[in-house]
Structures are given as C-alpha cells and as structure tokens.
Structure 1
Amino acid sequence: METKREKFYMMNSMLCLLKVVEGKRTTVEMRDEKEVTGVIKHVDGYMNISMEDVVFKSLTGKKKFDKFFVNGKTIRYVHIPDEINMKSAMEAKLKEMCTYTASMRVRQEIKDQAWAKLKQKERRAKAEIKKERK
C-alpha cells in the first residue's frame, strides 16, 4: 500500500515511468559505479527498486542474486527498455493512477453516505422508542 506522499511523488515526477518498467528486464546504474541488471518487480514512491534474477556488476566482478533491493538514493540512472514508448506509457500510467484515485474517492463517498443513512435510521428508531414510552 502506498502512502499519500508516495502517490504524490508518483503523480508529480518521473517515477510513473519507472512503474511502467515493472516486470521488464533492465539495468540500473548506481552512483558508486556499480550496475544491476535484472527484472524490476516493484518500484515505490521513493524510487526504491526491488528486482529479481539479478546480475550485480562492480569493479571487483559479477555476482548473481535471486532477489535484490536498490535504495532510491543510490540510483544514478535507470535504462528504459527500447520497446517502451515513454510518452504514451507515462500518460497511460498517470491516467490509471488518476482513475484509481478517483474510484477510491467515490468508494469512500459511498461508504460515508451509507454510514450517514445508518446513523439517521438509528436516530429515528431512538426517537420512536421515546415517543412510545411517553
């Protein structure tokens, strides 16, 4: 579950493009001249990336990992696969995120209305009981 702050970052930065890369094989270059190549499984609102089937390259050599976590603060560059049209992908992801946010808002409004009706019924029932007692 993403926090409101994470959603804000996703909607107002290039992070929405990284969400499009989820499930694809790509390379993440890190600030300390290291490189991670693998399948991106999850990107959060702080640009932290979870990857699988990873090859980690450093000055000392290569290592393979089943799972790997990259802290967003250490990322220099993320390669976007050639098959992704960045403009249309970002537009689609933003539209999806806006639709989800709007649907959640509508769901909350429906819940609030149902709760208000329930409270109103309880008040009426209590008022009727008071009338009967008099």
Structure 2
Amino acid sequence: MTNGIVTFVQGLVGMKVFAELRAGTTAFGILLECDHFLNLRIRNAIILRARKAEKVEEFFVSGRHLRYIHLAHAVDANKVLSRAIAPPRKKTAPPRRETFR
C-alpha cells in the first residue's frame, strides 16, 4: 500500500466529490470507486459540459483525463486518511451452535 494521493482519494469513497476534467467537463456526485490509476466511478452524477447539465446514474472518469478533485469544506483530511489506511474489516459469522444427538 502506498501513502499518496491515490490512497487519499480511495478514502473519499462514499462521499460527494466534484471532479474537474481536462476538457473542461465537470462531474459532481458520490464516489463509488477509485483504482490505482485514479479511474473514478461516480454515482448519481451531474455532468456539466459547455454550460449544459446532464444527470446520469453512473459516470466513469478515466484517470488520465482527471484535472482536479474538489472537496467539500466539511471533509476532514485526517479522518479520510485514517479511513483509507485502516486495514479492511473482516466479516465474522455468528458462532455456530452445534447440537449432538
């Protein structure tokens, strides 16, 4: 695991983000996924192209076309980083009740 910008953006999964692309297009929505190439999947996205707004259920942003990711003022960077660096939680099954007859 690396501690860089990718790790920080992966910590933003589930939060609202504003992605600005190189072509001047912007996408606003909830970040679903971010991989190591900064490819983003955004849910319930509002896409702004040439002053026209378009709402889509899911939008994919290639990492090579990404210029900026704007954050809300309420985002706490320390919490985002600790969330991204924390090891994934394992789901534990409830204890099985064995009955012998």
2:55 equivalent to 1:37? no
- Give the Cα separation in 1 of the matches to 2:61 and 2:49: 14
Question: Aligned to 1:28, which of 19, 35, 56?
Answer: 19
Counterpart in 2 of 1:16?
7
Q: With structure 1 as the length reference, what TM-score do the two structures score?
A: 0.59
**Identity, % of aligned pairs?**
17
Q: Please identify which structure carries the higher strand content.
A: 2
2:77 maps to a residue whose letter is M
Counterpart in 2 of 1:121?
none
Q: With structure 2 as the length reference, what TM-score do the two structures score?
A: 0.77
CA RMSD, aligned part only?
1.6
Cα deviation 1:50-103 (Å, max 9, x = unaligned): 011011101151111011100000000001222221134214422x1xx45xxx
- Give the Cα separation in 1 of the matches to 2:74 and 2:7: 17
Instruction: Point out the structure with max Rg over C-alpha.
Output: 1
Count of matched residue pairs: 88
Q: Please identify which structure carries the higher helix content.
A: 1
Counterpart in 1 of 2:94?
none
Higher relative contact order (CA 8 A, sep 6+): 2
- Give the Cα separation in 2 of the matches to 1:88 and 1:39: 17
Q: Is the 8 A contact 2:12 2:80 kept in 1?
A: no
Q: Is the 8 A contact 1:21 1:80 kept in 2?
A: no
2:33 maps to a residue whose letter is H
